[in-house]
Chains A and B, each alone.
Chain A
Amino acid sequence: MCLALPARVAELVGMDHAMIDLGGIRKRISIALVPQACVGDYVIVHVGYAIGMLDPEEAEATLKLFAEMSA
């Protein structure tokens, strides 16, 4: 139910809306909850609304953490 997917903002459309690219599929969504979103940013999309931003540096850091072996 809380399913949400990270998608790249491909284009800003008028006030509060954007076209997103989700693995090749383009869809119009509302970005009213993340007004700071720009083209190229990744947003987290749920029921047609971006509910948050994805931080690429933090994503990279988390992936690095997974690869660490315990002492």
Chain B
Amino acid sequence: MKYVDEFRDGDLARRIGDNIVHEADPSRDYRFMEFCGGHTHAIARYGVVDLLPGNLRMIHGPGCPVCVLPIGRVDMAIRLAFERGVMLCTYGDVMRVPASDGLSLMRAKARGADIRMVYSPLDALKLASANPGREVVFFAIGFETTTPPTALAIRQAESEGLQNFSVLCSHVLTPAAITHVLRSPEVQDYRTVPIDGFVGPAHVSIVIGSRPYEGFATTYRKPVVIAGFEPLDVMQAILMLVRQVNEGRAEVENEFTRAVTREGNACAQAAMADVFEVRESFEWRGLGQVPASALKIRGDYAAFDAETRFDLDYRPVADHKQCECGAILRGVKKPTECKLFGNVCTPETPMGSCMVSSEGACAAHYSYGRFRDIPVVSA
């Protein structure tokens, strides 16, 4: 596919890899956090780690919406399906997220709940039109990439006069999560997670632009390089971060200029601002309550807000005791440092959310990197 294949070229990848090795200072360490699950996936799938020098480590960040979705939110969706008999629509990634009582949306569906996997919020709208006698709820998750489509779906439901459609909104905000990581005690006080810079989001930045990251460069003195999700994009961004660190700079740079501008997509931002407002606080798996980090539906659109419509309350639920997703999402631990990794917790039977989405740090490492941990010996 055009604009995809060119950015996966192996020869060019090796060339950028050589440049990184050549320019990285062997007398120091480099630790960069890739915020997005899309980058985590690309790094694991394309073996980017193999082309990086040993003194450069990539830390996986919390930018995987499925991974940061707390059990309590999935429980809300399952309760809606079982107790209120709604037709619950959601994205495929959400289906296997572990919830309370050994359930997930997939298992609830197997037990008879009407749960539908959809590609687009437009599909949920179609189901609502086709089933006027049913309540149809779209369980919306995702960062700023996914939020404008939800906003447009709600506006479309209003203009079409759909009476049986509502949204369980669990949209979260990227800059708030990065701020939270930077302010965490592991980064600020204990220095157990030293971060020298960030590979910044690709598709989130198409919507919000590069400007929101400028504060991280100036206030926290951390370089940010926005990068596309293809392997060459990630490698070029790592090279640009190495250069910033070597030169003592902390700036926002944009590797993904083919899609990201400083201002972002004004039309998408306006749609989000029209339909959503910022929640005071929201629970993230792994990060806990993060202030001003998520969106809720504005009062003007309250008729389409499932939380209001069904008078739902949020009940926090603790994660599995031995699951290290929390520490992994904060960059404190690696997937292999979790006792459950690869034995009871696998992509087929995920115990924690990081094993669910292919973008989760655990699933990415399990699928593409677990044999790297085993030394090669001659037979």
Contacts and interface: CB of A to CB of B under 8 A. Distances in A.
Nearest to B118: A47
Contacts of A65: 236
A35 to B, nearest CB: 7
Task: Name the residue in A5, A6, A49, A69 with the highest tally of chain B Cβ atoms < 10 Å from its Cβ.
Answer: A49
A6 to B, nearest CB: 4
28 contacts: A1-B37, A1-B93, A1-B359, A2-B37, A2-B146, A5-B4, A33-B148, A33-B149, A44-B203, A46-B149, A47-B120, A48-B120, A48-B122, A49-B149, A51-B148, A51-B149, A51-B268, A52-B260, A54-B3, A54-B259, A59-B3, A63-B7, A65-B236, A66-B9, A66-B16, A66-B232, A69-B15, A69-B18
A2 B227 CA distance: 13
A22 B145 contact: no
Given A2-B204, A23-B1, A62 B236 contact: yes
B38 A3 contact: yes
Nearest to B22: A70
The interface centre, meaning the residue of B16, B119, B201 with most chain A CB atoms within 10 A of its CB, is: B16
Interface in B1-26: 1-4, 6-7, 9, 12, 15-16, 18-19, 22-23
A51 B152 contact: no
B91 A1 contact: yes
Contact of A51 (B12, B37, B206): B206
A53 B260 CA distance: 9
A49 B152 contact: yes
A34 interface: yes
Interface of B: 1-4, 6-7, 9, 12, 15-16, 18-19, 22-23, 36-38, 63-66, 91, 93, 119-123, 141-143, 145-146, 148-149, 152, 201-204, 206-207, 229, 232-233, 236, 255, 257-260, 265, 267-268, 271, 357, 359
B207 A51 contact: yes
Contacts of B148: 33, 49, 51
Contact of B236 (A23, A42, A53, A66): A66
B265 A34 contact: yes
B146 A47 contact: yes
Contact of B15 (A56, A59, A67): A67
From DSSP, what is the main secondary structure of chain A's interface residues? mixed
Interface in A19-57: 22-23, 30, 32-35, 42, 44, 46-49, 51-56
B23 A70 contact: yes
A2 B142 contact: yes
B207 A1 contact: no
Given A32-B152, A47-B146, A1 B4 contact: no
Nearest to B270: A33
A35 B267 CA distance: 9
Nearest to A52: B206
Contacts of B63: 2
Given A47-B120, A59-B258, A62-B257, A67 B12 contact: yes
A6 B18 CA distance: 29
Contacts of B265: 33-34, 51-52
B305 to A, nearest CB: 20
A63 B36 CA distance: 22
B117 to A, nearest CB: 12
A13 interface: no
Contact of B258 (A22, A33, A62): A62
